[in-house]
Structure 1
Amino acid sequence: MMRPTNTARTPDGKALPRFTQDEDLRSLMIIITVRGMRTHFPLRVFTLAGAMALALSVSACGGPTDASSAASGGGQTAATSDSQTAAAPSEKPMEVSDVDPRAAIAYDGGIQIVDTADGTVVADIEKDGFLRLNPAGDGRHVLVSSSAGFEVLDLGMIVKPHGDHNHYYTTTPGLTGSVIEADKPGHVVTNAGKTAVFDDGTGTVTMFELAALEDGRLDAEELTTFQTENPHHGVAVPLASGSVLVTEGTEDERHTVHERKADGSIGAESTDCPGVHGEATAQGEDVVSFGCTNGSVVFRDGQFHKVPVPEEYQRSGNQFGSHDSPYVLTDYKTVEPVDGAEPEHPTKVGIINTADATTTTLDLGSSYWFRSFGRGVAGEGVVLTYDGRLNIIDTASAAVTKQVDVVTPWTENENWQEPGPNVKTAGDFAYVTDPATQKLHLVQISTGSLLSSLDLSVVPNEMTVIDAELRH
């Protein structure tokens, strides 16, 4: 298999063009300045501010000892994980020529860390229970939702910028022993250099700066917490302004999203978001969309804007955004659930234009589920449907531009916790699991090419993919 972070090739070994579309000189110069002359896939297009911030973080050039401060620690925040494999606090990272994206794949009995270049199992961590996997946002760690709370999992990839190039290191993946305690660990959201986690069991929001994860630990002094009025299935989104958008409600009813300012006071508020669930950030300063059951609501320019829909009931509870696009991709349900009735399996998806708070729909002709979605590096939408096809969507025109046959035809399980196909994207690549065949497929989004199919030794369930050079 070719390496997606290096020169992309077709399955027969032919090199793909490094640039599939013209790029302006300014973006090209920024890529070269930050990454040297490596010009890997996927392309990174940095803002000038982002490039300057990265330049300020450059450390002195040296051998593996330069990354020793980034080795995972064995400390804990509130509890100790029951993992049989933990990153060694004294392990010296090994310098390598490059690091490929790694997939963390949960299965019945544990988590495997898989090198997406060749399918090598880098680590196999035994752990019981249904495990959910959430990117921590720093390009290295994953937050594992377990019975203990949010446990920190180190994927063992380290990138150290140095002027016009990077240094790369690896260390043994494993649970670091650090955990944010939670009765019912829920949503994890990264934005504006911070990650916020929501405890549905207590209504507690906990936040940390991404830099706090450099040592693999989240100590008490590195965490900021506040309490919502009541426990509920909620979400919090940190903003660049220092405020936090957070839901309010109860276990039985929720319809409010408001801006909680740094001093604890309430700014803008919307109470017209019944069943609020699902969020996505979009292009612009502090632009966020939330799903409701009467059309979504968008926070933009410091205010909430209701997205009108023609249906009386319209739920978009799963939302997927891109900081390079004003459009948010969503599911699109129009049948209110009734106890005992067959769940809705829609074929339409929604596309919200956050710039004017409008929505359009696109019928894919085949159903999907909440793990079917992703976004490409150029803002493309990605949706895997029951017919086994990965649909690549131009969100600006609301049109399917490519379809790729990826997995065997499938249908959604009655129990959502049972294994089903899972889509994750990183840069210009979509990673798709097929539990029926125990495969991990790699698709290049910009070309619509199926690049490789890797054999897995377990039946995959939850998955996340981390590219160390892509950070929030």
Structure 2
Amino acid sequence: MPYATKARVVALTAGCALLAGCAAGAAPAEEEPTPHGYVEGAEETAEAQWRLVAAEAGTGAVHLLDPVTEEAVEIAEVEGAQAIGTDGRFVYVAGASTTQVLDSGVWTVDHGDHVHYYKSAPRTVGEIDGSGFAPLGDPAVTVLNSAHGVAALDRESLEDGEIAAAAEVDAEAAVPYSQRLLAVTGGTVQVLGRDGAVESELAETCREPQAQTVTRRGAVFACADGALLVSGDDDLTAEPIPYPGSAVEGGFHHRPGTAVLAARAQDGGVLVLDLKERAWIAIAVEDPVAVSATGEDSPVLVLTADGVLRSFDPVTGAALAQVELMADAAGATIQVDTARAYVSDPAGTAIHEIDYRDDLRLARTFDLDFRPDHMVETGW
């Protein structure tokens, strides 16, 4: 499907005539070595730079909250804001017919044996046609999944303040994985090159993909009859993990990269998928509004309609702790990083910071002058 763009393009030019060292007869200046991990226009930091990005449905105002300074600033306005997603750095705010792409200005680069953290000024990148995207990204591409199709955006162009397609992907769902793309079409899982060309097909199938994510243990599709875990580097393998009963509803939610996933179930409860054990557990919880898994050997969080946040053991499903946060949990979401969980409270115009490893201790509440109707966390 076509995706029109309205991107701001920043052109950077430099001429030798502007440099004194290029004058006739001058000895060429010795270039300074580029520091490892250097990113032009960004500051490298010693730790992750988490930011909360929240959009208010009524006004369309999009705010960025720094939990360290506790300051929130408006960075954009999206008329008819109705959904939000992130690939870790870039934020996709869906309006009535288009989606605005914003650079939150914070991100992480994981080299495997070490990690770099960066921050820069937030900015607007541009717009794409369509809405309701669920983004998944890697250093080369961000894949946007929606009910209307899939778009693959070039990550380097986004970093330069432009929007450009990385490949044409005609599929029901797709994820970036192992320097390739995995795409589901008519139940068949295809392995695509980054240019969108089909390289191979996997033996296992995925009917009616409902959700997808990428973890350190592989890529996962939620299919009609269970999850499909695709893992490996050069040689990919696919393993079906049948549902224990009901199917998932509303997508996977988890701390980025981790191998325990949580989702609301179609029968009204909560499903937890442990990719290490290749096993689901079902947790009987009435009226779950928002869920998220915080990691292996770390609690699963469930916010129910009565405004109570509960934690559960990810292996046994046993209840661990609970705390009442709000009177009305409608529209609330849970975002999780390595240290804290953030629970949005649209009706209370607040965001609650939770220490999920300390019996759901309420660490702070950020009182806002806007409704955080749609919220994501960036910096990962």
Which TM-score band applies after superposition, normalised by the shorter structure? 0.7 to 0.9
Q: What is the Cα deviation at residue 97 of structure 1?
A: 9.9
**Residue 70 in structure 1 maps to residue 41 in structure 2:** yes
**1:191 & 1:453 partners in 2: Cα distance?**
32
Q: Deviations over 1:187-235 (max 9, x none)?
A: 211247642113544x3431334x54433x1353xx3122316xxxx43
Quick check: 2:202–2:238 contact (8 Å CA) kept in 1? yes
Q: What corresponds to 2:151 in structure 1?
A: 205
**1:353 & 1:427 partners in 2: Cα distance?**
18
Q: What corresponds to 1:330 in structure 2?
A: 263
- 1:367 aligned to 287, 301, 304, which one? 287
Quick check: 2:78–2:95 contact (8 Å CA) kept in 1? no
Quick check: 1:184–1:199 contact (8 Å CA) kept in 2? yes
What are structure 1's unaligned runs of at least 5 residues? 1-54, 60-66, 72-92, 250-255, 335-345, 413-419
- 1:391 aligned to 292, 298, 310, which one? 310
- 2:168 aligned to 226, 229, 236, which one? 226
Q: Structure 1 vs Structure 2: percent identity of aligned residues? A: 18
Q: What corresponds to 1:82 in structure 2?
A: none
> Structure 2 vs 1, CA of residues 159 and 351 (structure 1 numbering), >3 Å: closer, same or farther?
closer
- 1:214 aligned to 133, 156, 159, which one? 159
After the TM superposition, which parts of structure 1 deviate over 6 Å for at least 4 consecutive aligned residues?
A: 95-99, 158-161, 164-168
Q: After alignment, is 384-393 or 318-327 more displaced?
A: 318-327
Q: What corresponds to 2:238 in structure 1?
A: 304
* Count of aligned pairs: 334
Quick check: 1:102–1:114 contact (8 Å CA) kept in 2? yes
**1:129 & 1:193 partners in 2: Cα distance?**
30
**Residue 58 in structure 1 maps to residue 37 in structure 2:** yes
Quick check: 1:105–1:463 contact (8 Å CA) kept in 2? yes
**1:298 & 1:97 partners in 2: Cα distance?**
34
Compute the TM-score of the two structures, normalised by the length of structure 2.
Answer: 0.74
SS in 1 for 2:159: helix
> Structure 2 vs 1, CA of residues 122 and 183 (structure 1 numbering), >3 Å: closer, same or farther?
closer
Q: What is the Cα deviation at residue 306 of structure 1?
A: 2.7
Q: What corresponds to 1:89 in structure 2?
A: none
Quick check: 2:209–2:224 contact (8 Å CA) kept in 1? yes
**Residue 382 in structure 1 maps to residue 320 in structure 2:** no
**Residue 142 in structure 1 maps to residue 99 in structure 2:** no
Q: What corresponds to 1:428 in structure 2?
A: 339
Amino acid in structure 2 at the alignment position of 1:350: L
Q: Deviations over 1:384-423 (max 9, x none)?
A: 122322223332333333323222254x5xxxxxxx2121
Quick check: 1:381–1:395 contact (8 Å CA) kept in 2? yes
Two-structure CA RMSD over aligned residues (Å): 3.5
**1:124 & 1:106 partners in 2: Cα distance?**
10
**Residue 446 in structure 1 maps to residue 366 in structure 2:** no
SS in 1 for 2:62: strand
Quick check: 1:282–1:328 contact (8 Å CA) kept in 2? no
Q: What corresponds to 1:106 in structure 2?
A: 55
**1:96 & 1:327 partners in 2: Cα distance?**
28
SS in 1 for 2:334: strand
Quick check: 1:408–1:434 contact (8 Å CA) kept in 2? no
SS in 2 for 1:121: strand
Amino acid in structure 2 at the alignment position of 1:331: R
SS in 1 for 2:309: strand
SS in 2 for 1:307: strand
**Residue 402 in structure 1 maps to residue 321 in structure 2:** yes
> Structure 2 vs 1, CA of residues 112 and 297 (structure 1 numbering), >3 Å: closer, same or farther?
same
**2:221 & 2:109 partners in 1: Cα distance?**
35
Quick check: 1:101–1:115 contact (8 Å CA) kept in 2? yes
Normalized per residue, which structure has more strand? 2
Normalized per residue, which structure has more helix? 1
Amino acid in structure 1 at the alignment position of 2:177: L
**1:225 & 1:272 partners in 2: Cα distance?**
22
> Structure 2 vs 1, CA of residues 189 and 100 (structure 1 numbering), >3 Å: closer, same or farther?
closer
**2:224 & 2:107 partners in 1: Cα distance?**
42
Amino acid in structure 1 at the alignment position of 2:363: L
> Structure 2 vs 1, CA of residues 186 and 96 (structure 1 numbering), >3 Å: closer, same or farther?
closer
**1:165 & 1:351 partners in 2: Cα distance?**
28
SS in 1 for 2:168: strand
Q: What corresponds to 1:457 in structure 2?
A: 369
Quick check: 1:282–1:321 contact (8 Å CA) kept in 2? no
Compute the TM-score of the two structures, normalised by the length of structure 1.
Answer: 0.61
Q: What corresponds to 1:417 in structure 2?
A: none
**1:401 & 1:115 partners in 2: Cα distance?**
30
**1:157 & 1:326 partners in 2: Cα distance?**
23
Amino acid in structure 1 at the alignment position of 2:180: S
SS in 1 for 2:266: coil
**2:109 & 2:199 partners in 1: Cα distance?**
39
**2:109 & 2:174 partners in 1: Cα distance?**
30
> Structure 2 vs 1, CA of residues 185 and 168 (structure 1 numbering), >3 Å: closer, same or farther?
closer
**Residue 236 in structure 1 maps to residue 155 in structure 2:** no
SS in 2 for 1:228: coil
> Structure 2 vs 1, CA of residues 160 and 136 (structure 1 numbering), >3 Å: closer, same or farther?
closer
SS in 1 for 2:63: strand
What are structure 2's unaligned runs of at least 5 residues? 1-33
Q: What corresponds to 1:195 in structure 2?
A: 142
Q: Deviations over 1:66-117 (max 9, x none)?
A: x7x337xxxxxxxxxxxxxxxxxxxxx8x99988532211112221222323
> Structure 2 vs 1, CA of residues 283 and 404 (structure 1 numbering), >3 Å: closer, same or farther?
farther
> Structure 2 vs 1, CA of residues 170 and 316 (structure 1 numbering), >3 Å: closer, same or farther?
closer
Q: What is the Cα deviation at residue 258 of structure 1?
A: 0.6
Q: What is the Cα deviation at residue 444 of structure 1?
A: 1.3
